[in-house]
Amino acid sequence: MGIDVADSRVLCPGGYLFARCWRPVPSEHAPIVLLHDSLGCTELWRDFPAALAETTSRTVIAYDRLGFGKSTARRGLPSLDFIDEEAEIYVPALLHGLGVSDFVAFGHSVGGAMALVVAALRGNQCKAVITEAAQALVEPRTLAGIEAAKLSFQDPEQFAKLGRLHGDKAQWVLDAWTEVWLSPEFRTWSLDPYLSEVHCPALVIHGGMDEFGSEAFARRIAQGVHGPSRLELFPDCGHVPHREKQDAVLRVTAEILQPASV
C-alpha cells in the first residue's frame, strides 16, 4: 500500500495551524485526527501516523495546536478552558480547512481529553474516539509528574529538546502546560460533564506505569461514556503507549475501527 504525505496550513482564529496528512491509496473510510499531548506537535508522533495509516487503511491527520510546533505563535497563556476551546474552536477550523466531514478522534494525554470533548460536541461527525494516557481529572500523581517535569526542563539539554520541536516558542509551550495545570484554579477540572455525551465507540488505552495519572482515569472514561467502550490497560507501560507499545496500540485501534460503519 502506498502512502502519500502532504503538509497544509489551515486558517484559524489567531493564525494558522500546521497539519500533515498520511493518505493511503486508496482510502475510503473516515480519517483519523491525532491530537497531541501538552508538549507535543506533529513531529513528536514520529513514525506512528504512517504506521497507523498503513494498519487501518485510513488517512491520518496530525496537527500542531496554535502556539506549538510549526503553527502560529500565541501571546499569553491558554485559559483554564483551553481543553474545551480546542474542541469548540480549533478542531472545527481544522476540519473545515481540510474539507473533512466524518472523522475518528485519537488523542494522547491532554489530547485524549480534547478528543473526548470533540466526540461529545460533534457526535454526528465523530465516528469513534480513541484515547491513550488521557487525564480525566487532576490527581496528586498528575501534579507530582508535572512538577518533576518542570524541574527537569531547567536542564539546558532537556530544554533544548523542546527547542528542536517548537523553536522560539519552546518556553511558551512549557509554561502553557505547567503554569495552567499547576494553578490552584485548575484543580477542579474534570471530564465528567462531557463523558455522558459521548455516544460513539470509545477505545481507552492506559499504562499502569503512567507517571501523570493512574488507571482510575481510564476506568472513569470507559465507564462514563454512553457509547460502547473498550478498556485496554498495559501494566508495564508508561505515559506514551503509542511509542512504548506501538504494535499493541495499532492492533487494538484497528480492531475497534473494523466495523464498516465506523
Contact 134, 204 (CB under 8 A): yes
| The dihedral sign for the CA sequence 43, 131, 95, 2 | positive
Q: How far is residue 58 from each of residues 128, 151, 262, measured CA to CA in Å?
A: 13, 39, 11
Cα distance between residue 78 and residue 169, in whole Å = 14
Distance (Å, rounded) from C-alpha 60 to C-alpha 103?
Answer: 10
Question: What would the mean pLDDT of 82-105 be, rounded to a whole number?
Answer: 97
Contact 58, 24 (CB under 8 A): yes
Cell 465528567 belongs to: 192
DSSP state of 190: B
Distance CA 204, CA 248 (A): 13
pLDDT digit string, tens, across residues 109-148? 999 999 999 999 998 899 999 999 999 999 999 999 999 9
Percent of the chain at pLDDT > 70 equals 99
Q: Return all residues near 205 (Cβ < 8 A) that are at least 6 apart.
A: 130, 131, 132, 133, 218, 232, 234, 241, 249, 252
CA dihedral 68, 70, 75, 79 (to 10 degrees): -30
For range 160-189, the mean pLDDT? 97
**Percent of the chain topping pLDDT 90:** 94
Q: Is the pLDDT of residue 92 over 80?
A: yes
Which domains are delineated in the chain? 2-256 (3.40.50.1820)
More confident residue, 89 or 260: 89
Check the CA dihedral 130-84-239-20 and report its sign.
positive
What pLDDT does 27 receive? 76
Whether the predicted pLDDT of 1 surpasses 70: no
Check pLDDT > 70 for residue 261: no
pLDDT band at 28, cuts 50/70/90?
A: confident
